[in-house]
């Protein structure tokens, strides 16, 4: 799963607990293209947040992260994030790879005004505070916020949408190359989610950002992403351009996930919930982890873990029956998938 100009390459990354017995990220490999928006989608507990944490070597203790996270800088040098010293890692985070966490309120110190968070971040990285605060005002304006009001407010004095936009501005204050967003709109209403998507597109273009957008909401990320990656049971199972994954996915789980996507215009009897439940980290089945829920599962699926194979150029899938899945599992919500823009969402 390589790209032409990767800015980050993840090689065989695994996160384990209980002395290596429990996997919450199971030997994942992926490439993130410079300048793209990569959407990573999966059910709750699929491992997508661990994937996000791994990009910054920020897996919480006592988790153990192994493998390689290669970051390719603009100057042509490459570093393995997992082998950086504490000081080097501190510089990498925020300055080169920044992260926006789920739930802005929990990311802000409630006793400190928003302006104080910006100044504290600038000082911690030895940045010039006056020029940094000018950039803060510009970023807040780009996100359609009143800079003076926001900088002079405590977090609780702002609405949820304003808090989330202020957090996005804070993540960009040191002008990073990569922005990792872990469920950044999960706590917001539908209108605010769409509004933030539009703002993220504008920011990505203006500041030449690479974005990794983590979410459980497949239709939401499909409006924003250039490429999409699907996670199931702590592994990546399908990666493709947005149009290919939405309209011509090859993994039975991806197709089932699309059929389970709510559509208020479709009759209730057309809903196709995915039967069963995803495995817990201590009870991952042998072979393909989706086999217990898959209508196409064979003995090979239950015993042999499928390797990634290429369906089309840039479209890879880990499934023994990817070609069969397209014929056997029809996509029922064509109206929903047809409504997703062919290139670039308008956020409306």
Residue 116: strand, helix, or coil = helix
Provide the pLDDT for residue 175. 96
Residue ranges of domains in the chain: 6-230, 250-328
What is the spatial distance between Cα 330 and Cα 324, in angstroms, rounded to a whole number? Answer: 11
State mean pLDDT over 267-293: 83
Per-residue pLDDT band at 268 (split at 50, 70, 90): low
CATH code for residues 6-230 = 3.40.50.300
Report the sign of the C-alpha dihedral through residues 204, 68, 9, 27, in that order.
negative
Residue 302: strand, helix, or coil = helix
Whether pLDDT at 82 is above 60? yes
Contact (Cβ atoms closer than 8 angstroms) between residue 281 and residue 22: yes
Find, among 54, 151, 138, 44, the residue nearest to 99 by Cα. Answer: 54
Provide the pLDDT for residue 115. 98
pTM of this structure: 0.91
Residue 229 token pair: 């990656």
Find, among 99, 88, 72, the residue nearest to 172 by Cα. Answer: 99
Per-residue pLDDT band at 242 (split at 50, 70, 90): very high
Q: What is the pLDDT of residues 197-237, one digit of tens each?
A: 999 999 999 999 999 999 988 888 888 999 999 999 999 99
């Amino acid at each position: 799963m390589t790209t032409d100009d990767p800015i980050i390459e993840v090689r065989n990354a695994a996160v384990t607990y209980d002395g290596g017995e429990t996997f919450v990220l199971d030997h994942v490999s992926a490439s993130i293209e410079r300048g793209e928006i990569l959407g990573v989608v999966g059910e709750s507990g699929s491992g997508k947040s661990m994937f996000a944490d791994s990009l910054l070597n920020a897996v919480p203790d006592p988790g153990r992260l192994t493998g390689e996270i290669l970051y390719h800088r603009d100057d042509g040098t490459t570093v393995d994030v997992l082998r950086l010293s504490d000081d080097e890692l501190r510089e990498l985070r925020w300055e080169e790879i920044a992260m926006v966490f789920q739930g802005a309120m929990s990311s802000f110190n409630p006793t400190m005004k928003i302006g104080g968070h910006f100044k504290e971040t600038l000082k911690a990285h030895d940045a010039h505070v006056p020029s940094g605060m000018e950039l803060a005002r510009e970023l807040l304006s780009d996100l359609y916020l009143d800079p003076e009001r926001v900088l002079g407010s405590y977090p609780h004095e702002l609405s949820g949408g304003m808090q989330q936009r202020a957090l996005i501005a804070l993540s960009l204050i040191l002008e990073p190359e990569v922005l990792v967003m872990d469920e950044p709109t999960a706590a917001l209403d539908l209108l605010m989610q769409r509004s933030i998507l539009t703002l993220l597109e504008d920011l990505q273009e203006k500041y030449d950002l690479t974005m990794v957008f983590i979410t459980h909401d497949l239709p939401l990320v499909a409006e924003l992403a250039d490429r999409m990656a699907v996670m199931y049971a702590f592994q990546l199972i399908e990666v493709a351009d947005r149009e290919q994954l939405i309209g011509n996915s090859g993994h039975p789980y991806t197709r089932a996930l699309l059929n389970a996507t709510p559509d208020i215009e479709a009759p209730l009897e057309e809903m196709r919930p995915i039967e069963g439940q995803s495995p817990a980290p201590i009870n991952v089945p042998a072979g393909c982890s989706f086999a217990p829920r898959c209508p196409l599962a064979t003995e090979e699926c239950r015993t042999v873990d499928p390797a990634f194979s290429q369906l089309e150029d840039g479209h890879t899938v880990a499934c023994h029956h990817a070609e069969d899945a397209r014929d056997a599992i029809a996509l029922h919500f064509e109206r929903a998938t047809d409504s997703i823009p062919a290139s670039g969402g308008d956020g409306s």
